[in-house]
Amino acid sequence: MRYIRPLSIEDAVGQLAGAAGPAAILAGGSDLLVRMKGGFVEPDLIVDIKLIDGLSEIRETAEGFSVGATVPCAALRENAPLKKAWPGVVEAASLIGSKQVQGRCTMAGNLCNASPAADSVPALVAAGAQALIVGPGGKRTIPVEAVPTGPGKTSLARGEIVEAILLPKRAARSGDAYLRFIPRTEMDIAVVSAGVNLTLDEQGVVTAARVALGAAAPTVLLVEEAAEALIGRKLDEAALERLATVCAGACRPIDDKRGTIEFRRKVAGVLARRAAITAYERAGGK
Amino acid sequence: MAGVAVSTTINGDNYEYLCQPDETLLDVLRDRLGLTGAKEGCGTGDCGACSVILDNRLVCSCLVLGAEAEGRTIETVEGMAQGDQLHTLQQKFLEHAALQCGICTPGFLIAAKDLLAKNPDPSEEEIRFGLAGNLCRCTGYDKIVRAVQDAATVMKGA
């Protein structure tokens, strides 16, 4: 096995694309090292991308925020403008693992690990975040929900790296929130989760909404019908009831000891409803 | 297999070592450098017994490659006491009997040091959340939390 630390993204892409055997990208390593230890992956080449210029930065741009691939989740909540604009995304990323894991884990890694229960992903999907991907063919930008294709699988081609997660510029009167259910208070993996992102008009009527569910299907679900249940309304009881019903119906969850299908469906609706109320309040709605 | 040459700073001292590309920082600390304070509990980032501070961030050294330490700054439990003078946290762990078998203790001490450096006046809840990545199967945590609270009080007054 070889370990390299390229200084440019072009070099990293070239090394990954040209590798003869299995190659792995190392950012925070909180998934990769566990999988190596368990014998689930045996890379011949590890490409540590942490020395590449710019990848460890959170940048506020005219288009919104760009969170580099190697930014540890602990750094997200230390960034006041990001936290103010996207509190739901930051609270979701802050739920990954322990304090120790927070010091290493990244949102790009959480996305590319492609777990349906990844905490930051439903919040990113609800936020309308994009993944900036660089590869042998150049750069492309795709919605984050197009990256995972199933548990542990992504749409990334050989040699491609997620360089940054792009969060759009915030419209006025907007708010987002993320909630998950776990059987203990911290350090666990979501049994089911929900992310909601809302924009309101001056009267408090929802003008734009995105609702995403985690651990409810092989990939994170963007539930468009749930957004439709909220748009044009003031988050009244009928709208919330409809949201919960639609979310429960959209789930295609697994049935295991951590939660039955029936339980996951019900809790998905409850969490979506509660996350919508928090997002609404954060957007300034009353 | 050729080793990776690494130069790093641990507890203020420069260390140079050769390690294998897949060797963890925990294995380097324990087996190559004789710094056996950090312990291996799970080896998968769940128990926190191997906690160290890497460039001012608390991490599990079992989830860091030894090769990644190049040019970085590491603090381990060995750096907490100054000669025979124990760190306040170490003293308070003794006074409150916040350890039994001791395997988790170095990780708790480093995690508590990091916690108090970033939040000198934590609430009990903040301490419990802050130390949730460290598992102890002996004490039931209450004594550890009290030791950290007491240490915080002393350190604020210092």
Tell me the count of A-B CB pairs closer than 8 A: 86
pLDDT in tens, B21-55: 999 999 999 999 999 999 999 999 999 999 999 99
In the predicted structure, residue B2 carries a pLDDT above the cut 80: no
* ipTM metric: 0.95
Provide the pLDDT confidence category of residue B1 given band limits of 50, 70 and 90. Answer: low
Q: Using an 8 Å Cβ cutoff, are A63 and A166 in contact?
A: yes
Domain range A2-168, CATH architecture: 2-Layer Sandwich (3.30)
CB contact B67 to A (< 8 Å)? yes
Q: Positive or negative CA dihedral for B94, B96, B98, B99?
A: positive
Of chain A, the percentage scoring pLDDT greater than 90 comes to 97
Q: Across the interface, do A100 and B111 touch by the CB < 8 Å criterion?
A: yes
Fold match flag (A2-168 vs A174-282)? no
Test B21 with A2 for CB contact under 8 angstroms: yes
In the DSSP assignment, the letter for residue B29 is I
Which chain B residues in 34-63 lie under 8 Å from chain A, judged by CB atoms? 43-46, 48, 51, 54, 57-60, 62-63
Q: What is the pLDDT of residue A184?
A: 85
- DSSP track, A204-242: S-EEEEEEEEESSSSS-EE-HHHHHHHTTS---HHHHHH
* pLDDT tens-place string over residues A115-151: 999 999 999 999 999 999 999 999 999 999 999 999 9
Instruction: Mutation target for A interface from B59, B109, B126: give the one with most A CBs within 10 A.
Output: B59
- The Cα of B64 is separated from the nearest Cα of chain A by a number of Å equal to 7
Q: What is the pTM of this model?
A: 0.96
The answer on pLDDT for A3 being more than 80 is: yes
pLDDT digits (tens, 9 = 90+) for B99-143: 999 999 999 999 999 999 999 999 999 999 999 999 999 999 999
Of A95, A113, A146, the residue nearest A40 (C-alpha)? A113
- Chain A hits for B4, Cβ within 8 Å: 3
Give the class (CATH, top level) of A174-282.
alpha beta
Whether residue A206 has pLDDT greater than 80: yes
Mutate to test the interface with A, among B44, B51, B63 (most CBs of A within 10 A): B63
Does pLDDT of A185 surpass 90? no
Token pair for A253: 């969850």
Question: Contact, A54 vs A199, CB < 8 A?
Answer: no
Scanning every residue of chain A, which has its alpha carbon at the shortest distance from the alpha carbon of B48?
A: A100
Cα gap A21→A190, rounded to integer Å: 34
Specify the 3-state DSSP secondary structure of A158: coil
In chain A, what are the domain boundaries? 2-168, 174-282
Report d(CA B40, CA B50) in Å as an integer. 6
β-sheet with A174-181: strand ranges across: A174-181, A192-200, A206-214, A221-222
Nearest CA in chain A to B52: A100
Q: How many angstroms away from the CA of A34 is the closest CA of chain B?
A: 5
* pLDDT score at A187: 83
CA distance A98 to chain B (A): 5
In three-state secondary structure terms, B120 is coil
Q: Please state, rounded to an integer, the average pLDDT across all residues of chain A.
A: 96
Does the beta-carbon distance from B64 to A29 stay under 8 Å? yes
* Residues on chain A bordering chain B, Cβ-to-Cβ distance under 8 angstroms: 1-3, 5, 26, 29-30, 33-34, 36-38, 46, 48, 50, 72, 74, 97-101, 103-104, 185-187
Query: Rounded to 5 degrees, what are φ and ψ at B47?
Result: -105, -20
Predicted confidence at residue A217, as pLDDT, reads 95
**In chain B, whose CA is at the least distance from the CA of A38?**
B44
Contact flag B45-A100 (C-beta cutoff 8 Å): yes
**Chain A residue nearest residue B1, CA to CA:** A1
User: What are the pLDDT digits (tens) for A38-90?
Assistant: 999 999 999 999 999 999 999 999 999 999 999 999 999 999 999 999 999 99
Indicate yes or no: CB of A33 within 8 angstroms of CB of B64: yes
Domains and CATH numbers, chain B: 4-79 (3.10.20.30), 88-157 (1.10.150.120)
Q: How far is A236 from chain B (nearest CA, A)?
A: 34
Q: Which residues pair with A104 in a beta bridge?
A: none
